[in-house]
Structure 1
Amino acid sequence: MTLSQKAGALSFFEDLHPPKSRFLDDVLTGLSQSQKMIPPKHFYDAKGSALFDDITGTDDYYVTRTELGILDEIAGDIASRAGRGAVVIEPGSGSSVKIDKLLNALDQPAAYIGLDISKEHLISACADLADRFDGLSVGAICADFTQAVPLDNLPIPDGRRLVFFPGSTIGNFEPEDARSLLKTLRGWLRPGDAILIGADRVKSRDVLENAYDDQQGVTAAFNLNLLTRINRELDGDIDVAAFSHRAVWNDTRSRVEMHLVADRDLSFTISGRSFEMAAGETIHTENSHKFTVDRFTELAASAGLSVMTHWSDERGYFTLYWLERS
């Protein structure tokens, strides 16, 4: 089935023409800094996406299965709070397992609206969802959800809006950027609308570091695949075997950091630009901030949102929050 045919299966498709991801610019700029870095959004080529799916199934990575367990436990409460005929809006390319679980929990949801910057992925994911939920109105908006998106000018069906932002994706943003994103999501809400958002919790160093450096080495392969992608797509000649994966808990900033560590002095080029790294120097590839309930509540409040209730697993590893406009 072609992309246009899949788009035709949707109730509506709106292309707001977001700027395309500038992979080369981000890599050249990031590797020119004193602390070399590459934004984590560039992990997700086809191989990277498949590896991340594998990560979620490892014994050490508790995040996905814990959140799914909470969703199972609170299905009735969510349905009661959302009411009949809710309109679910999901920014980003979410897990089909999670959105299926939410839609099945709700009382006759009126519509699902997906937002993503990747047009091909967005249309395919939304069309597949429409196939699985016969009779559900499914729309898609190609947009950068971190920027202001004028939802009121788009053909979104009537009904109480429930913005679904699972997976602790909020933790990948620096605190100021997380606050800005929450303000953007708040702007989508009308009186009575809500946000259902997942946020990972602060816990022991061992649990956190193992979750991002699993014994099977899947997360290491995921991190190193970024270098393989650079070589393939950006005419790079990086010796991938000269790097190792490192995940470390930064207690001061309450986050797990992922790095690619140079095992020896080396030099390489990317699209004709030369770079050098000393043994032990790192490329910072991802942050995953962790929250206490009080700290996340403060973050939400700073964005004009109130925590109406929250749910956690028995171990206190992960929390889902129901947010409404303050």
Structure 2
Amino acid sequence: MSMQAYELRDDDRRPPINDVLEVVQRGLRLQPKRLPSWLFYDERGSQLFEDICDQPEYYLTRAEIDLLNVHAGDIAEVLGEDVRLIEYGSGSAIKTRMLLEQLRSPVSYMPVEISPEPLRQSVQSFSELFPELTIQPFCADFTRPLRLPVPPRAPRRNVIYFPGSTIGNFEARDAIDLLRKMRNEMGEGGGVLIGVDLKKDPTVIEAAYNDKAGVTAEFTLNMLVRLNREIGSDFDLSAFRHRAHYNPMAGRIETHIVSARSQEVRVGRMRVAFGDGEAMQVEYSCKYSLSDFATLAAHAGLKVQHVWLDPQQLFSVQFLVRA
């Protein structure tokens, strides 16, 4: 099979500037204030997230890579041959390379990523690493319905790959909705291969989101840099700070941008007051026990067929099929 990399295009689901402004204004009217985490991922934000993954406190990426080093062959056996691999939020797709190296005669690889530049870099890299693999990149928001391109030949199974711990960024209701969407898009006989971060010592979890080098703090505040650039707001970065705290009752990291003083910010024609110490919620990072996640998947009409753990049992990769 000759390599066939489809031309990249910005999907029409990428929100236009007016929509971003509306989303931000709506979130700032809430009490407490809240902005969606997808606003992190402009080009700079995507790069900063890659840098976060290299920080010594950020165990998640290392644990997942350790897991794949041990289990990628077994995962490939479970997925079987002639798979079409559809990856949500592919980014630089480092972990995907480890999986693709083990898959037998994959039909195609379809990375879905909202940030165009990381997607282009991923396609270029994979075209060189796997010159006979059909690559069908798709620049889109994976949380919305996708018009999947026609594969070069009929796959035996569609597998939606959702590595990392991104499912944890969704509250339970939204996570169930996303899993239902995956269930529909994978079709009959398909599956979901998903990374799930596990509950563990809260000090380990909290340190991962408060690295000493301050990369996560820069990543969080880059959201305000993006808004200033794209919608003309006037957030003063020196007047805000990053805060990430583990809530053991909810089983999640709660990330906020905190106002360091009383101030007013212009967002379009709207003036937004922030009190001294007022926190604006920007991300959740939920952690699960194995039984927690199995229950969540069941609400979406899925069941856990296989679970793989890293050697330290910090992280899991799970394969879900229709219940």
Decide: shared fold, TM above 0.5. Answer: yes
1:246 aligns to what? Answer: 243
| Aligned pair partner of 1:154 in 130, 150, 164 | 150
**Is 1:303 matched up with 2:295?**
no
1:105 aligns to what? Answer: 102
Alignment of 1:74-153 (within 5 A): 74-118=71-115, 122=119, 125-149=122-146, 151=148
Number of corresponding residues: 318
| Partners of 2:91 and 2:56 in 1: CA distance | 21
In structure 2, give the amino acid aligned to 1:225.
Answer: N
Measured after TM superposition, the shift of residue 232 of structure 1 is: 2.4
1:262 aligns to what? Answer: 259
| Partners of 1:293 and 1:285 in 2: CA distance | 26
Measured after TM superposition, the shift of residue 40 of structure 1 is: 0.8
Structure 1: state its 5+ residue gaps.
1-7
In structure 1, give the amino acid aligned to 2:164.
Answer: G
1:202 aligns to what? Answer: 199
| Partners of 1:156 and 1:115 in 2: CA distance | 17
In structure 2, give the amino acid aligned to 1:300.
Answer: A
**Is 1:221 matched up with 2:196?**
no
Measured after TM superposition, the shift of residue 264 of structure 1 is: 1.3
Q: Deviations over 1:61-95 (max 9, x none)?
A: 11111111101111221121122222111122333
In structure 2, give the amino acid aligned to 1:83.
Answer: G
TM score, norm. by length of structure 2: 0.91
| Partners of 1:30 and 1:178 in 2: CA distance | 20
| Aligned pair partner of 1:58 in 55, 60, 74 | 55
CA contact (8 A) 2:92 2:119 kept: no
| Partners of 1:14 and 1:258 in 2: CA distance | 32
CA contact (8 A) 2:307 2:318 kept: yes
Measured after TM superposition, the shift of residue 120 of structure 1 is: 6.0
**Farther off after superposition, 184-193 or 111-120:** 111-120
Q: Deviations over 1:280-320 (max 9, x none)?
A: 10111111111100010011111111111101123321111
CA contact (8 A) 1:258 1:286 kept: yes
Measured after TM superposition, the shift of residue 178 of structure 1 is: 0.5
Distance 1:175 1:273, change over 3 A: same
In structure 2, give the amino acid aligned to 1:212.
Answer: Y
**Farther off after superposition, 48-57 or 156-165:** 156-165
| Aligned pair partner of 1:174 in 171, 181, 188 | 171
Per the alignment, in what secondary structure is the counterpart of residue 298 of structure 1?
helix
Distance 1:208 1:11, change over 3 A: same
**Is 1:233 matched up with 2:191?**
no
In structure 1, give the amino acid aligned to 2:150.
Answer: L
CA contact (8 A) 1:12 1:155 kept: no
| Partners of 2:10 and 2:233 in 1: CA distance | 32
Distance 1:249 1:20, change over 3 A: same
2:277 aligns to what? Answer: 280
| Partners of 1:234 and 1:190 in 2: CA distance | 39
CA contact (8 A) 1:12 1:138 kept: no
What percentage of aligned pairs have identical amino acids? Answer: 39
**Is 1:43 matched up with 2:8?**
no
